[in-house]
Chain A
Amino acid sequence: MKEQRAQELFDAMGELESSMVEQAYVVDSAEKLKSLCEAEAETGRRRVRPVRGVHRRVAVICASVAVVLGITLGLFALPSLWGSGGNLEEFPLLSPDQQEEQPSLGWDDILANATGEIVINNLDKLNYYAAMWLMGGAESDVMQGAAPQPIPLTLTEGEIGYDNGYAVDTPPVEELPPEEQSPTLDNPQPSQGSGSSIGGEYWVGDKVVYYALEPSDRYTIDEVLSFQIEISDPAGFLASRIGTGVVDVVITSNNLEPMITFRNGNLFYSCLISGGGNGRMHFSTHKYIEGFYIVKNLEQDNFAFNVTMDKNGVREIVCHRYKSGASVEEQIYTPDTIRLLTGGVRQQVTGSFSVAELQQYYDTLDSQAQE
């Protein structure tokens, strides 16, 4: 009889909340478990159980309406530094019901339909062009306007130290559980929003996929920092990715993990947050972008971008090679010669896009420009 009861218990586990079960699948390493434990201990609360059934649908619809209102009000409140910006009335966001009715498109379908010069065919461009859209201007208008005095680059050797590959002042911030509060650029933490479920890291060929954006996923940004740097040394790491010259940079707080994207003409490079706090953000190249994948590679030669900012914008950015697991003294502070040109702008803007929607926006801009 007890065996039968045990079977019933086993059966009953099949009826558990899917989010709890999915989380257990995703947390598939000691590192992720540690991060989850720290996160739950820090919030000092139990997991929030999702609402069920019709109440969930109502909650999702209400949240979506709130986001749309937030976008509308946010755009109207922005100072008009960059022209007329995106027009929500022309490109209304889909309601959850409408989103569910959309035909299922793969990446090939979405990109094949692109008609303009800008093709959102990777996460770098998604991050960058979504940020540009939110900040209210076409890309060519973004970097105009008054800028503060250039701040000379200084290596902050010893100031931002690394212990075991992470800043000593904050713990490593990596894969965190779904129910995270929205991060801010001041206290950057990876968050996990309404995108597709992460099925855990997995091997594809010789690479570890940390996250894969699905075509139906929505990419949500709630804060943007944009500024400019100059790359002068062609031998540096960043130059090897995007060349030298004046480079546009955006940092976004989003529903994946805070991401920094560098753009030099048609060349983009992005990497993700590895730690930070108290006005500092540390990005590491061990999580970088390939297509719509976030790839993780701790074995390669990795670099860190340390950004110091205040409420107005960026104060400092340094780039150096770092050795995962090494102490502060062992870190290799090879300067990658990049120079902050403008402290840029920091804006609390909220928007949520699918790749298809963003692509449609830029295709329309392009066709209007040709008229």
Chain B
Amino acid sequence: MDENIFHDHDIIARFFARDERALDAVAKKYARLYRSIFGALLRDQSDIEECSNDLLLSLWQSIPPHRPRSLPTYISALARRIGIDRYRYNSRQKRGEGGTLLFSELQDAIPDRGEDSAQSEAERARLGAVLQDFLDGLDTTTRILFLRRYFYTESVSSLASRFEMSESAVSVRLHRARKKLKKRLEKEGLYS
């Protein structure tokens, strides 16, 4: 076995021991994962590099006290947050992010007539609960595809290759899921 690839537990232990090799290990093992998430949200390579550094810093600052149960999922969640914050910053600065394919797709799931107001905390919590319930009700394959596409930002072509499906089959499943989500949000009175 390659001694340089750590168990996730060893990596976390090194964070707790304030051993900076933890960061090297994360970069070695998970760079592809978090960079692909940034790549799905940001265009500029220098933004991706900066966000990657921000991610490593966030990990260093949050572990400890946090002890992730699943390191790749924790890293992905952090990457999503950092990536979308940078995306929004760039949009405000009119730095031409211009929307991503991900957000274009997710717009399919938004009801057509919505209030033009900021989302409240209560609405945010409700949205989370509705989304959870919606995903629980999906068939297994669609749920996995949906999460890998919109949580882990995996591309359609990568999903197709990974699960030995055609790209059109993946696209159709995701499209139908977005439509179902839209109906569900309408029914729940969210964004309408």
Contacts and interface: CB of A to CB of B under 8 A. Distances in A.
B85 to A, nearest CB: 10
Contacts of A24: 143-144, 147-148, 151-152
B39 interface: no
A2 B178 CA distance: 14
Nearest to A205: B2
Interface in B8-22: 8-10, 12-13, 16-17
B106 A27 contact: no
Chain B at the A interface: mostly helix, strand, loop or mixed?
helix
A297 to B, nearest CB: 13
Interface string A75-107: 000000000000000000000000000001110
B121 interface: no
B96 interface: no
Nearest to A40: B140
Nearest to B41: A10
A214 B151 contact: no
A164 B163 CA distance: 19
B147 A21 contact: yes
Given A1-B114, A14-B81, A204-B1, A37 B128 contact: no
A207 B1 contact: yes
A205 B147 CA distance: 29
B110 A104 contact: no
Interface string B46-84: 000000000000000000000001111100110011001
Nearest to A5: B110
A10 B124 contact: no
Interface in A192-219: 196-197, 199-200, 204-205, 207, 209, 212, 214-217
A49 interface: yes
A10 B150 contact: yes
23 contacts: A2-B114, A6-B109, A7-B87, A8-B127, A9-B131, A13-B147, A14-B77, A15-B128, A16-B128, A16-B131, A17-B132, A23-B144, A24-B151, A25-B72, A30-B162, A30-B163, A104-B13, A106-B9, A106-B13, A197-B73, A214-B7, A214-B9, A291-B1
